[in-house]
Amino acid sequence: MASINLGEIADIITGPFGSMLHKSDYRETGIPVIMPQDIGDRTLSLDNIARIGQQDAGRLARYATVANDIVYARRGDVEKHAFITADEAGALCGTGCLRVRVDERKADPLFVSFYLNRPESRMWIRLHAVGSNMPNINTDILSELPMELPDLESQRKVGNLLRRIDAKIANNKKLMAGLEETARLIYDYWFTQFDFPDENGRPYRSSGGKMVWSDELKREIPADWKAGMLSAVCRYADETIAANALDAQTYISLDNMMPNYGGITASEYCPSEGSCKSYRIGDTLLGNIRPYFKKVFQASRDGGCSPDVLVIRPTNGGRCYVYDTIARDCFIDYVVAGAKGTKMPRGDKDHIMRFRMAIPPRGIIEQYEKLVIQIHEYRSHAAAEDFELRSLRNWLLPMLMNGQLSIE
C-alpha cells in the first residue's frame, strides 16, 4: 500500500475565471459548462446545465474534460465530485470548479474517484476547506489530500467491482424516479383535475360530476369536497427517541437525505447521547432549510432525525395521500415562499400547515391509498435496496484495500 497525496498522481487545474466567460456567451444549445450546482454524488447532471457555442469552447479548450476526469466545486458543497463518463467527455470545467486528471500510469481514475468519495476523504476536504460563511477549496488543498493506494492491478479490479454496484444503484434511481412520476400523475388526475373515479368508475369531472365554486380556493371543486388546510389531514410529530437507540440506518439528517425524493444514504454522523425527534413508518420527512426543501422522504421504518427535518404524520390514515401532497412542486414553492431567515431560511411551521387545498371525502382518500400503495411499496423497496447497495459499496472499499476481502 503506497501513501501518497492526490497531487502526486493527478494534474489539478482551476476552471476559467469569470472574465473569460460572460453571460452573453451562453446558449440554449452547445457545449456543456459544468458549474457547482451540476455536480452530484460522483455524477454530473445535464438537466439544467449551461452551454456555450463551439467558438467559445475552442477558445477555452484547455478546460475541456475527457473520460475519467474528476470535477469538484470550488465553493459550497466542496466534498462532492463528478466522475466524467465517455458520454459526458468534452464538457468544460466551468467557473467555480476544479478539474482533476489522474495519470493512468500511476493510478486508476475510477478507483481514485471511489476513494475520494469515501466518508473519510470527504471529511478531510470539509475540514481543510477555507472560508467562514461558505467552504472553499483550491488546487493546493486538493493536491495535499492523503491517499493509500494498492497496486495498480488491484485498483482496477476494485474499481470495476464498485462500478457494477454503482450501475445497480443507477438503475434503482431510475426506477424510483419513474415510480415517483407515476404517483404524481395519478395524484394530479384525481386531486387537481378532479377526475377520480365516480360511483360508476368514470372520471368525475370529465363525466359531468357536479362542481361548485370555492371562494377560499378561487376555483371550482367537487360538490362534496371541502376547502381546507394541510392541517386537516396531518400534523407535526414531536415525539422523541433516545439517541443511543439509533444507527446509520435509522438516523436521518439533511446530510443523508437525497434531493428530489431520491431516498437516503447511510448517515456519516449519528448522535450517541440525549434524544432527538422520532419518526414512524409512513411518516413524511421534509428538509426544512433552503435549499434542502426538496429533500422529501417517506419512512419505511421507525427511527430518529435531526432538528432540521420536519416529521409530518397523517392524522386519519392516508399516508400516501399526505406524502404525494407534500412532494408536489407547488407545495415546495409554497414552503420556500414562506421561509424565514436570511442566510439559510427555514420553513415556517405554521405557514406550512396553512397550505390551502381541496380536501376530498374520506372514501376518496381510501380509494387512492388502495390504488397507489403498491407504487409506494415498490419505491420503498427500491429505496431500501439502494441504501443497502450504497452501504455495501462504502464497506467494501476499505475491506478490499486492506486485504481482508479478495475479489477472487
Mean pLDDT of 297-318: 92
Model confidence at 408, pLDDT cuts 50, 70, 90, reads low
pLDDT at position 283 is: 95
Dist. CA 198–CA 221, nearest whole Å: 14
pLDDT at position 234 is: 96
Residue 94, class by beta-carbon neighbours within 10 Å (0-12 exposed, 13-18 middle, 19+ buried)? Answer: buried
- DSSP-derived pairing of the beta strands 296-298 and 284-287: antiparallel
184/132: higher pLDDT: 184
Question: Can you count the helices (H) and strands (E) in the chain?
Answer: 10, 22
pLDDT digits (tens, 9 = 90+) for 79-93: 999 999 999 999 999
pLDDT at position 261 is: 63
Q: How many angstroms from the chain centroid is the CA of residue 78?
A: 16
DSSP assigned state of 135: -
Percent of the chain surpassing pLDDT 70: 98
Model confidence at 121, pLDDT cuts 50, 70, 90, reads very high
> Is residue 264 predicted with pLDDT exceeding 80?
no
| Model pTM above 0.85 | no
Dist. CA 371–CA 196, nearest whole Å: 11
Range of weakest confidence among 56-65, 284-293, 352-361: 284-293
pLDDT digits (tens, 9 = 90+) for 194-242: 999 999 999 999 999 999 999 999 999 999 999 999 999 999 998 999 9
Domains of the chain with bracketed CATH = 2-149 (3.90.220.20), 175-387 (3.90.220.20)
pLDDT at position 119 is: 83
Range of weakest confidence among 28-32, 186-190, 378-382: 378-382
